[in-house]
Amino acid sequence: MKSLIKLLILILVLEIILGYALYLRDSPKMTGNYISSTLHVLDKLTHKFGEEKRRLEEADEKRKLEEVEKRRLEEEEKQLRIEEAERVLLMDLEEKRRQEEEEKRKLEEVEKRRLEEEEKQRRIEEANCEEYIDLNRVLTIADMRYHRGSVKLQTSIDNLNTSDFSNKYIIVIAGNSEAYGDDQKIQKRLHFRLEEKLKNKFKSDNIIVFNLSDFGFFLNDQLHSIQNFSKIFNPDLVIFYTGGNEMYLHRYYEDMVINNISLNFDNEYWYEFSEDNEIYQKCLNKKIFLTQFNFHKKHDSLDVSRYINNGFLKIKKYFSNIDSDFIFYIHPLNTEKVGQALLQEFQDIKIPDKRFFNLSNEDFNLEFHDEFHTLDSNIMANKILEDIVLKHEQKIINKINISSK
């Protein structure tokens, strides 16, 4: 064992000596001079430790720079947060100021309206009708709808291009938006279908159907549109087709009187003063006029049956003085959407006249859009055709100069 150790030590010493000898041999080749191996080793160690020192110094400098940059970024971020907070605060303050101003404006408007209402009520209460009764006043008189807008007329260009009506049998439909065809295709509306069916029935093009119906028309509006239309054309037969708007009679009347428009019971026209409506309404005779001062939901003027009966009598009186006929229809109502009490009120309307038809009592299997507007006029056109042929066939034949088929 000792011999082995000695051998290993010998090999190690030889390795060191040979290595050092080789280093001495090669040293002049690298530098041209002899360099002490000891010094060379020291130089290597110095160089290595110098590089490590520089590396550490550079790393430390880099770390310091990174810390400086980090602090700078943190400071910038902090400043941005401060600026953003200040901006949000300013926006909040501005919004709060705006809201406060808006609230103040609203309160001022409410107060202004309150003061105006108080002043108006004071003037009404203090008004002495004796002072106003003999004064000249400016006012308008109108129906519910007719005089408040132009009259709509539906017909074909061919009918408008006709100048000689001597052998033309003219029918006019007067009604509300259902008769107008509000929810129906324009070429499938009541007057258009009825005209086609009549022409086919009598094998003649000498039959014309005009449609004077319009949105919001009540009976008075329909009658006055016919009276005005008759100044241009002389209809042979007028079809009144109504009921839907009359369902909401109380609502329309209430809206009118709230807006200071007064109803004359005698002629059923609406009166509106050009100024100081409230004061002059107060001075109107409550036995003659319906105003906001005597309106209530049980008022006689709001009775639908009474309204339709009165309207029928006015129509009957008008047609008794002209050479024209008429048929009067209360059109069908949607029994699934109209309240039972209101529906019964309509179904109970009866007028002992062969020209009066209450179709709210009949089921035509119609497709409704709402309480009374339908999507197709064909079924009702057939019904009206049937009634026209039954009651006026001979007059049509005489007018258009053909033989009955």
Q: Once rounded to an integer, what is the mean pLDDT over residues 332-361? A: 93
Q: Are 211 and 130 in contact (CB under 8 A)?
A: no
| 18: in domain | no
Residues 219 and 293 in one domain: yes
**Percent of the chain with pLDDT strictly greater than 90:** 36
Q: Once rounded to an integer, what is the mean pLDDT over residues 266-270? A: 83
Q: What was the pLDDT predicted at 89?
A: 84
Residues 217 and 304 in one domain: yes
- Distance CA(40)–CA(36), nearest Å, equals 6
* Model confidence at 121: pLDDT above 90: no
Q: From the CA atom positions of the chain, what is the Rg in Å?
A: 51
Q: In total, how many domains does the chain have?
A: 2
Please give the residue that has the higher pLDDT: either 162 or 340. Answer: 340
What digits encode the pLDDT tens for the residues 193-229? 999 999 999 999 999 999 999 888 999 889 988 998 8
Q: What was the pLDDT predicted at 43?
A: 63
| 212: in domain | yes
Beta strand 325-330 pairing with 237-242: parallel
Q: What was the pLDDT predicted at 180?
A: 92
pTM for the predicted model, two decimal places: 0.67
- Distance CA(396)–CA(208), nearest Å, equals 11
Residues 303 and 324 in one domain: yes
Longest dimension (CA), the chain: 159
- Distance CA(370)–CA(358), nearest Å, equals 19
Q: Of 126, 151, 168, at which residue does a domain stop?
A: 126
| 34: in domain | no
Please give the residue that has the higher pLDDT: either 198 or 103. Answer: 198
| 17: in domain | no
| 8: in domain | no
Residues 204 and 150 in one domain: yes
3-state secondary structure the chain: CHHHHHHHHHHHHHHHHHHHHHHHHHHHHHHCCCCCHHHHHHHHHHHHHHHHHHHHHHHHHHHHHHHHHHHHHHHHHHHHHHHHHHHHHHHHHHHHHHHHHHHHHHHHHHHHHHHHHHHHHHHHHHCCHHHHCCCCCCEEEECCCHHHCCCCCECCHHHHCCCCCCCCEEEEEEECHHHHCCCCCHHHCHHHHHHHHHHHHHCCCCEEEEECCCCCCCHHHHHHHHHHHCCCCCCCEEEEEECCHHHHHHHHHHHHHHCCCEEECCCCCEEEECCCHHHHHHHCCCCCEECCCCCCCCCHHHCHHHHHHHHHHHHHHHHCCCCCEEEEEECCCCCCCCCHHHHHHHHCCCCCCCCEEEHHHCCCCCCECCCCCECCCHHHHHHHHHHHHHHHHHHHHHHHCCCCC
| 33: in domain | no
What digits encode the pLDDT tens for the residues 164-182? 888 999 999 999 999 999 8
Q: Are 177 and 222 in contact (CB under 8 A)?
A: no
Sign, CA dihedral 77-80-86-89, equals negative
Residues 155 and 201 in one domain: yes
Please give the mean pLDDT across all residues of the chain.
84
Residues 200 and 343 in one domain: yes
| 346: in domain | yes
Among 230-239, 278-287, 377-386, which is the least confidently predicted range?
278-287
* Model confidence at 327: pLDDT above 90: yes
Q: What was the pLDDT predicted at 30?
A: 53
Among 22-36, 112-126, 144-158, 390-404, which is the least confidently predicted range?
22-36
| 24: in domain | no
What digits encode the pLDDT tens for the residues 124-178? 777 777 776 665 555 666 666 655 555 667 888 888 888 888 899 999 999 999 9
pLDDT bucket at 403, cuts 50 / 70 / 90: very low
Q: Of 126, 147, 170, at which residue does a domain stop?
A: 126
Q: Spell out the residues 6+ positions from residue 262 whose beta carbon is closer than 8 angstroms to its own.
A: 270, 271, 272, 281, 284, 289, 290, 291
Token pair 């509006």: residue? 221
- Distance CA(375)–CA(145), nearest Å, equals 24
Please give the residue that has the higher pLDDT: either 235 or 132. Answer: 235
Residues 169 and 97 in one domain: no
Residues 86 and 214 in one domain: no
- Structural domain containing residue 66: 44-126
Residues 143 and 290 in one domain: yes
Among 73-82, 100-109, 133-142, 316-325, which is the least confidently predicted range?
133-142
Write out the two tokens for 222.
């329909």
Q: What was the pLDDT predicted at 405?
A: 45
- Distance CA(22)–CA(204), nearest Å, equals 136
Please give the residue that has the higher pLDDT: either 32 or 47. Answer: 47
What phi, psi does 154 have (nearest 5°)?
Answer: -115, 125
Q: Of 104, 126, 148, at which residue does a domain stop?
A: 126
Residues 267 and 294 in one domain: yes
Among 78-92, 301-315, 320-334, which is the least confidently predicted range?
78-92
Q: Spell out the residues 6+ positions from residue 297 whose beta carbon is closer than 8 angstroms to its own.
A: 250, 254
Residues 56 and 190 in one domain: no
What digits encode the pLDDT tens for the residues 350-376? 999 999 999 999 999 999 999 999 999
Residues 97 and 194 in one domain: no
Looking at residue 384, which CATH number applies to its domain? 3.40.50.1110
- Distance CA(44)–CA(32), nearest Å, equals 18
